[in-house]
Amino acid sequence: MKDHKFNTVNKENRIPYYIQIKKQLLDAINNNIYKVGGQLESEKELAKQFSVGRPTIRQAIKELQIEGLLERSKGKGTFIKKRRIESTFLQNFFLDEELRRKNIDFKIIVLKKELVIASKEIKTIFKLNENDKINYIESIRAINNTPLTLDLIYVPDKICKNLIDEDLNNYSGEEIVKVISNKSNKHIDRFTRSIEPVNHISFSRAASLLKIDDSKCFFCLKSLGFDEFNTPLVYFEAFFPSDRIIFTFNSEW
């Protein structure tokens, strides 16, 4: 940031000085001139660059703190905060659709595709026999190389034969559901969902893949898809770091 030069405030403009400064700082954050985790210059340095007093700089910084873009660390300085994505995913089901609508670039990387013997839990969910096999798919959804979600998908092989043979890289959840419907000739009619906090001890692989340190919590969202005859067809487990995404809800009174 030492090479970046801000414009001094326009003192003939009716817009308050701190708002002018806030806009320039916000543009620098949005354009990745300031990196997440990077440190903002001191109030004294910024006051010199903008040709204003330190109280004006302090007000601009406070505004950006309130909006969740900056955080102060006592004795260390002010830092660029990692921004959480607001999502109505719990209501609308497909996160990818929402990310595209917000013009957020992301990629989906398939880590595993295996045909495995179902665990006891998965057997119970799908009412499977002892040796029935499951198509298991594990993928990471990432934004700017930072993992946002870890998705685990389970589909009985007797319902959707050889799903793992499909090239599913960069396939969204919605696209995978369409592949399952087409291959099985069954329509997924509805989903039931639940969300719960999980810990690093029980889900150490998920925490490692999502790069979540021990001080952060994360969540597991479970979704089970049924056809019109109430037969379960697909089961999703999606892990979300709490510091990267926040779930919002819309309701009518």
Residue 141 CA to residue 149 CA, distance in Å, equals 5
The pLDDT value recorded for residue 85 is 62
pLDDT single digits (tens) 90-144 = 556 677 777 777 777 888 889 999 999 989 999 999 999 988 999 999 999 988 7
Residue 129 CA to residue 92 CA, distance in Å, equals 33
The pLDDT value recorded for residue 89 is 57
* Whether the predicted model's global pTM rises above the 0.85 cut: no
Could you state, in chain order, the average pLDDT of each consecutive group of 10 residues for the chain (253 residues)? Answer: 76 91 87 82 92 94 83 86 62 71 83 93 93 93 86 94 86 84 89 89 90 84 92 93 74 63
The pLDDT value recorded for residue 5 is 81
The pLDDT value recorded for residue 253 is 63
Instruction: Give the DSSP per-residue string, 96-121.
Output: HHHHHHTT---EEEEEEEEEEEPPHH
Closest-CA residue to 218 (of 230, 206, 226): 206
User: What angle, 0 to 180 degrees and rounded to 10, lies between the N-to-C axes of helices 43-50 and 54-66?
Assistant: 110
Residue 139 CA to residue 130 CA, distance in Å, equals 27
165 three-state secondary structure:
helix
The pLDDT value recorded for residue 243 is 75
Domains and CATH numbers, the chain: 17-80 (1.10.10.10), 85-247 (3.40.1410.10)
pLDDT single digits (tens) 219-234 = 998 999 999 999 999 9
The pLDDT value recorded for residue 2 is 52
Cβ within 8 Å of residue 233, ≥6 positions away: 155, 156, 159, 160, 180, 184, 186, 188, 225, 226, 227
DSSP state of 42: P
Going from the C-alpha of 17 to that of each of 13, 24, 41, 52, the distances in angstroms are 9, 11, 18, 8
Q: Which two three-digit tokens encode residue 180?
A: 């399952």
Residue 149 CA to residue 196 CA, distance in Å, equals 15
